[in-house]
Amino acid sequence: MIISASRRTDIPAFYSEWFLNRIKEGFLDVRNPMNNRQVSRLPLSPDLVDCIVFWTKNPIPMLPKLDGLRKYCYYFQFTLTGYGRDIELNLPDKRKELIPAFQELSDRIGPERVIWRYDPILVSDRYSAAYHIKAIAEIAKALNGYTEKCVFSFVDLYGKNRTAMRKLGVRDLSGDEMRSIAVQIRDIAQANHMTAATCAEIIDLEALGIGHNACIDKALVERLTGGKIKNTKKNLKDSGQRAACRCMASREVGTHNTCANGCIYCYANHSPESVRRNMAKYDPHSTMLCDRLGPDEEVTIFKDVKH
């Protein structure tokens, strides 16, 4: 079983104490976002968890707690971009805090276990293609030797973010514009001993030497564990993700509307108020993130780890 922690929120930044408490207890509860009355209990014993994939923009609060994960295989998807606080409102300083944190994390767990994400790329008058290329070059130079891969994607405009994106002057990119940006990212990555890959992009860049990334990556998990993934029926594409996503199936343990990074492009938060309301419920000793079981609620014990 692969644990995703989390596409819905930033567990390393805000909820590492909760997660490590659940590791100690050996299970956690997660509510189905499509059916609020459906709660599943997932076992977290090392013999059942093949790998934990952490998604974060700020792992600093979790760094002192990494020893609590020593029995587990895990890696980090670390998003580090060139945006200012008009886009990513509440992140620490990139140069002074986040790049050094990336370097420290890599030194502690290895460059193969820290994936650099520069995504999504949104293009506007302020954040032009040239701006992104300059930012990527600067970050790549700082991360040379600290990661093996640079993953990027172009912003998708959809219902939840379209209004905010239009207010910022974000525009759609043509295929030629995407290819031009991608080639430059590829060359920067190669110059800094990294492989460039896209995340959930429909555009095919294989001819340019840029593959489609799998963030929940079967090959990487097998490389890190030194063998095959135990739960072989899980070696399938995650049907719950977008069509262009290459991830294998995983068990998501996060909760929507709980991330305080404040990124304008976020799809997991409905509003700042919903985030404040849910974060007020946070209890690091609860079995569920920013939530708890009601007195009459039942949980489904997840037994079939090979499903």
- For residue range 210-241, what is the model confidence (pLDDT) as tens digits? 988 889 998 999 999 998 786 555 446 665 66
* DSSP line for 88-114: BTTPPPIIIIIHHHHHHHHHHH-GGGE
- For residue range 93-103, what is the model confidence (pLDDT) as tens digits? 999 999 999 99
CA angle 141, 147, 150 (to 5 degrees): 75
Whether residue 193 is contained in a domain is answered as: yes
Residue 307 confidence class, pLDDT cut points 50, 70, 90: very low
Whether residue 104 is contained in a domain is answered as: yes
pTM of this structure: 0.93
- 196 pLDDT exceeds 60? yes
Give one word for 288, left, alpha or beta, with left for phi > 0 and alpha for psi -120 to 50: beta
Instruction: Show the domain range for 153.
Output: 2-301
Mean pLDDT of the chain: 91
**28-43: average pLDDT:** 92
Whether residue 307 is contained in a domain is answered as: no
Contacts of 260 (CB under 8 A, 6+ apart): 10, 13, 14, 90, 275, 279
Q: CA-CA distance, 46 to 64, in Å (whole number)?
A: 20
**149-176: average pLDDT:** 85
According to DSSP, the β-strands at 114-121 and 149-154 are parallel
Residue 188 confidence class, pLDDT cut points 50, 70, 90: very high
Q: How many domains are there within the chain?
A: 1
Whether residue 42 is contained in a domain is answered as: yes
User: What are the structure tokens assigned to 45, written together?
Assistant: 């014993």
Q: Give the lowest-confidence range in 11-20, 51-60, 157-166, 222-231.
A: 157-166
Give the per-residue pLDDT at 306.
41
Whether residue 306 is contained in a domain is answered as: no
More reliable by pLDDT, 95 or 35: 95
- 164 pLDDT exceeds 90? no
Whether residue 283 is contained in a domain is answered as: yes
